[in-house]
Amino acid sequence: MNIVLRLAWRNLWRQPRRTWLTMGAMVFSNLLLIFMMSFQFGMYGLMIDNTLKFFTGHMQVQASGYKDDKKMRQTVPDIIPLANSIRAKLASDTVAARAQTFALASSDNRSFGIAIYGVEPTFEVNVSNIPGLVSSGRYLEAGNPAEIVIGDILARNLRVGLGDEITLLGTGVDGSFAAAVVDVVGIFSSGAKDIDRNIAEISLEHFQDVFFMEGAGHLISIVGTDLDLVEQLQADVTSMLPDSGEFVVHDWNVLQPGVRQAIQADMGSSFFMYFILVVLVSFSVLNTQLMSVLERTREFGIVMSLGLKPGRLGRLVVLETAIMGLLGTVLGILAGALLTTWVGHVGFTIPGMDEMAAQFNLPARMYPQITTLSLLAGPVTVFLFTLLASIYPAVRLRWLHPVEAMRSV
Amino acid sequence: MRVLVLALIASLSAAAGAQENDAESIVRDSINHWRGLSSKTELTMVIHRPDWERSMTMAGWTKGEDKSLVRVLEPRKDRGNGTLTIKKNMWSFAPKVNRVIKIPSSMMGQSWMGSDFSNKDIARADDILDDYEYTLLTTDAVDGVEVYEIDAIPHEDAAVVWGKEVLTITAESVLIKHAFYDQDGELVKVLETLEVSEMGGRTIAKRQRMHEIETPDEWTEIRVESVEYGLELSDSLFTQSNLQNPRD
Amino acid sequence: MHLFGVLFQLAWRNLWRNHRRTIIMLSAISVGVWAMIFMTALTRGMVDQMVVDGIKALPGHVQIHNPDYLDDPSVNNRIPISDAELQQKFATGNFVAWSSRVKVPAVITSERDSRGVTLLGIDPAAERDLSFVKYDEVDGRFLEDANDKGIVIGRKLAATLETEIGKRIVIMSQDPHNEIADRGFRVVGLYTASTGAVEEAFAFVGKSTAQKMLGIVGETTEVVFLGDDYRDVEAVYESVVAEVDGSVVVNRWYDVDTYLGTMMKVMDGFVLVWVVVIFLALSFGLVNTLVMAVFERVREIGLMLALGMKPGSILGQIVIESMLLLALGLAIGNILSWATIIPLESGVDISFVGKGMEMIGAASVLYPKLNLNDVVLANVVVLVLGFLASLSPAWRASRYEPVEALAKVG
């Protein structure tokens, strides 16, 4: 075996340029694959985080069944003490309780049906972007003030500004009449028409008063430090809740199934394209090896007529390819890792992203993240396809007639 | 469907001329008798769910088929809340905020005071007859009283979701049952009279219960505590300003 | 020139002398070219799809509204120009299609459930080219004319409401006096859209029927215009603005859907990046192939030099060979692309991830789009790159010492 190995190695370097160029193609593709995949995964992380941090959070504690029926009555009792205890046990401030319902908001003689949320002002800023999107006035203050923040389109439709009053009319949790007058202290602008037209926030304590919640709420939104740790966090929070089964902790996959699926969809189409890249590289290797075999026809003819079996010759060719492939893979991984780490530090941007950033509160620079998957998936696939590619030239050797072969130029 | 309308309408007795077997005239008679009539009622509404029950006492005034005013008397925290309906439109008043607010069409489908009736059910209109085609199905005698079962099929363009409604009305114009069927003929919800008695000089449905067939454990019951008919009620009673500042 | 002719013949014959080698190299180039064009078409198709879909939901490239309508899209903010006048003004103009419609929020109710929807009162003939609804693919039938009394809703909405074709539902909205306006409609058709969300959002009725129900006979809330190219709507815009005054606002599609507009720019940037990437990857292969073409014929070249061929001619011959190879490879690659893209233009199905695609606004079927510009670019790049790539080895080859070259065993 050792001899075959040495032969293979030497064969490769008889034509150093060719070997280098082919390896170069492999290294380049690997570099690309690693970078693009890391970039892609980094972007997904960003997308998820952005969507979730806007309002949903990484997970929510809710009454069992609330997610599907969304009935006012499906409450989490004593929600503020519960949120406090979760905050204490997690030693984290990114935990916020909420209550929500649909109600009528009216000013003077204009009324609109809206979704109204009762939030904990001190903590809501940590789990949602909306407080940060207040463009005039201020966000809500802690306590039980009769204050409200509304979207800018709703403000325009109601013809109200800072300091004006809005009347809220709805149904309490027990079916009774709920009504309140609140002052507009802040107006937010998210860029999303639906949000700016239909959503308003008041303090949770005030919500509980107005809608007769008796200390209850509807959900506790929790944001963890890292997307990868969500599962663990979910288990932790579940263990903090009573066993009764009245409460559940839903993670973002359940709350916003579209996010994960959007990512899978994007992966679907990206992998289709990566695949084509891999095919391209393998083809180039196939091409090289075919050429290399072709030009050694005479030599192979001689060797075979001296007694070497075509099978062994075939193995030689495969081995040559394998060594080249291995080198290409290793070098490619190195190069890819280096480039991606560097860009991961510095960040980069595509034209048009700064506009997106300004308008929709999305980040302007992207930072690719290397993961084991992004580092290995591409190169390994290329290596495998390369080996596959070497089969054809190896197999063709079986049909080599030594005498004819020796005659070729 | 203007459930409460028919319930209140048909709870009047139409003593004169209700002996014909023509379905439409049976219904029309109750309505005709009702037209131009006014009433003041005190009633209790009970909302029952598997895990809780809530009871409210209300005072209601009606004039003709278009106008009605309802004010909550009990429980205390809801006292003074009111609903005014004129034709298909509804206004709400809450003393807590001291404002009258018109309910937009987008909220008309919401439940009225948490009950199994929607805002749309409560609001009345004078075109009930126009919306349906009435056919008399059967005439029976129960305890010596004639009872008519009437099919009401909504017209093509009528703003009615039901495939058909079946009304069971006595010769004294008391609505015993109002069943709502979907367009496949399946029974979806039903309003049943549990008790008939003489009040305010007429035979009326004293207790009625509304529930959806799929959730028999969730219902809303209306119980008439007292009623007066034929009062002189001025139109100014049914205005937004009166809703806000009661002079009743 | 005669020399060129000789070199050309030599080059051509050289290529086919060792046809195995040539075929291998041709296939490398063809596949490379195919990949370039195919990938570009795929990504272009994706961006195109996303934008066109988004525009169809608006719809139109240019829109007219009452100034207050975009904030509060209700019946109170109608277009102050009457429909009759609009028909006159826009009987001709710089656009492909246009339509005036009634678009207001409403509640749709069935026996079992109710939902908030956007009610669209339309003239189906005028909307055919604008609408995202494919009239021929509607279950049941689409609206026949503006007086149609039926309603067409999305499949998903029908499922949610537990209703179906032939059943009645009730639409409730408001008239300009803030009074309830409601009416029963028979469901005559169900449409499918690219996403379930769209199917639950829009309900179509005849324009006259809607106007009567809402008490706004002869008036509309939105006018939309479609041009040729979503990337350049200026001509349409100018044409529309010229016919109206300040009582209405005229917007281009990217003013109305700013997200889509910006997204398009980002995606275009993305496509550019991808194209560059593919071209780079291909270049390696190209250079590799061409360099190899020279270096394994060292002995041949040595022989020709020894026989008296000038180094300059060697250079020429090799370059011509490379260009011939490239040209053939390009031809095959282009044909391959054309042959694979055209049939696939009706869609590559990746619907197993269908649900998620809705969120980023792309359909679950990919439509590669063959763009002449892209094809030309690909060909030019390959030719230029190829030419440059073949120069170096060709020049080296012409510098061989005949004796050394002959002696190489290869």
The model's pLDDT over A150-160, given as tens digits with 9 standing for 90+, comes to 999 999 999 99
Lowest mean pLDDT among A160-164, A251-255, A397-401, C324-328: A397-401
Using CB atoms and an 8 Å cut-off, which of residues 185-224 of chain B contact chain C? Answer: 188
Out of B89, B105, B162, the one facing C107 most closely (by C-beta) is: B105
Closest CB from C112, C174, C183 relative to B105: C174
B105 interfaces chain C, CB cutoff of 8 Å: yes
Q: Which of C71, C270, C340 to mutate to test the interface with A (most CBs of A within 10 A)?
A: C71
Shortest Cα distance from C353 to chain B (angstroms)? Answer: 35
Which tens digits make up the pLDDT trace of B141-168?
Answer: 878 888 889 899 999 888 888 999 998 8
Q: Which helix (H) or strand (E) holds A30?
A: helix A16-51
Q: Is residue C266 less than 8 Å (CB to CB) from chain A?
A: yes
Give the count of domains, chain B. 1
Question: Which residues numbered 41-100 in B keep a CB inside 8 Å of some CB on C?
Answer: 87-89
Q: Is C151 left (phi over 0), alpha (psi -120 to 50) or beta?
A: beta
Least confident of A249-263, A325-339, B89-103: A249-263
Measure in Å the smallest separation between the Cα of C109 and chain B Cα atoms.
7
**Among candidates B78, B92, B107 on the partner chain, residue whose Cβ is nearest the Cβ of A176:** B78
Choose between C372 and B56: higher pLDDT: B56
Whether residues A167 and B99 touch (CB distance < 8 A) is answered with yes
- Which of A91-95, A357-361, C173-177 comes out lowest in average pLDDT? A357-361
Q: How many beta carbons lie within 10 A of that of residue B229, not counting itself? A: 18
Decide if C282 touches A, using CB distance below 8 A.
yes
User: Based on the structure, what is the number of domains in chain C?
Assistant: 2
* Helix%, strand%, coil% for chain C, nearest 5: 55, 15, 30
Tell whether C19 and C100 lie within a shared domain. Answer: no
Chain B residue closest in CA terms to A182: B97
Contacts of B188 in chain C (CB under 8 A): 111-112
Tell me: pLDDT of B35 over 60. Answer: no
Q: Which of C25, C287, C359 sits opposite A259 (nearest CB)?
A: C359
Interval A213-240 mean pLDDT: 89
Q: Which of C109, C179, C186 sits opposite B109 (nearest CB)?
A: C109
Which residue's structure tokens are 């197999």? A395
Top pLDDT among B145 and B55 is at B55
Whether residues C249 and C265 share a domain: the answer is no
- Tell me the mean pLDDT in the region A243-264: 81
Interface residue of C195, C284, C291, C396 to substitute, partner A, most A CBs within 10 Å: C284
CATH code, B48: 2.50.20.10
What are residue C148's DSSP bridge partners?
A: none
| Contact state of A355 with C355 under an 8 Å Cβ cutoff | no
The verdict on a CB contact (< 8 Å) between A174 and B81 is no
Q: Which residue on chain B is closest to C111 by alpha carbon? A: B161
Chain B closest CA to A52's CA: distance in Å?
29
pLDDT for the residue numbered B172: 79
The string of pLDDT tens digits covering residues A167-217 is: 998 888 877 778 899 999 999 998 778 889 889 999 999 999 999 899 999
Distance CA A118, CA A76 (A): 13
Decide which of C192, C220, C253 is a domain's last residue: C253
The verdict on a CB contact (< 8 Å) between A264 and C43 is no
- Say yes or no: C383 and C366 in one domain: yes
Quote the Cα angle for A344-A346-A350, to 5°: 85
Which among A177, A209, A212 is the top mutation candidate for probing chain B, defined by the most B β-carbons within 10 Å of its own β-carbon?
A: A177
Q: How many Å separate Cα A65 from the centre of its chain? A: 28
| pLDDT value of residue B124 | 60
What is the span of the domain harbouring residue C268? Answer: 2-54+261-407
pLDDT at position B147, please? 87
Shared-domain flag, residues C331 and C240: no
C-alpha neighbours within 13 Å on the C-beta side of residue A66: 24
Same domain, C78 and C222: yes
- Residue B209: pLDDT over 90: yes
Q: What does the pLDDT look like over A341-353, one tens digit per residue?
A: 888 888 777 666 7
Gap from C129 CA to chain B (nearest CA, Å): 29
Which residues of chain A approach chain B closer than 8 Å at the C-beta? 73, 102, 104, 106, 111-113, 167, 169, 171-172, 174-177, 179-181, 212
- Cβ–Cβ pairs < 8 A, chains B and C: 71
Predicted local confidence at residue C25, as pLDDT: 76
Answer whether C105 sits within 8 Å of B106, measured CB to CB: yes
* The pLDDT value given to residue A51: 81
Asked if residue C331 and residue C232 are part of one domain, the reply reads: no
Q: In this structure, what are the phi and psi dihedrals at residue C120, rounded to the nearest 5 degrees? A: -120, 115
**What was the pLDDT predicted at B10?**
42
Nearest CA in chain A to B115: A175
Exposure of B135 by Cβ count < 10 A (0-12 exposed, 13-18 middle, 19+ buried)? Answer: middle
Query: Per mean pLDDT, which range of A336-340, B2-6, C138-142, C263-267 is the poorest?
Result: B2-6
Print the domain residue range for B145. 2-244
- Is the pLDDT at A333 greater than 50? The verdict is yes
Confidence tier at A249 by pLDDT (50, 70, 90): very high
Please state the pTM of the whole predicted model: 0.77
**Predicted pLDDT at C191:** 95
DSSP type of residue A233: H
Residues C129 and C247 in one domain: yes
Asked whether residue C207 falls in the same domain as residue C104, the answer is yes
Confidence of residue A246 (pLDDT cuts 50, 70, 90): confident
C235, C253, C271: which is the final residue of a domain?
C253
Question: What confidence score (pLDDT) does residue C348 get?
Answer: 63
Q: Does B124 reach chain C within 8 Å, measured CB to CB?
A: no
Query: What single-letter amino acid sits at C113?
Result: D
For each of chain C's 410 residues, which pLDDT tens digit applies?
A: 677 888 888 888 877 877 777 787 788 788 878 877 887 887 788 778 778 878 888 888 999 999 999 888 889 999 999 999 999 999 888 889 999 999 999 999 998 888 889 999 999 999 998 888 989 889 999 999 999 999 999 999 999 899 999 999 999 998 998 888 889 999 999 999 877 778 888 999 999 999 999 999 999 999 999 998 888 889 999 999 998 988 999 999 988 887 788 778 877 777 777 777 777 777 777 777 777 767 667 777 778 888 888 888 878 887 888 888 888 888 998 898 888 887 776 666 555 444 444 444 444 566 777 778 778 877 887 788 778 877 877 777 777 777 777 776 54
Contact between B159 and C184 using a beta-carbon 8 Å cutoff:
yes
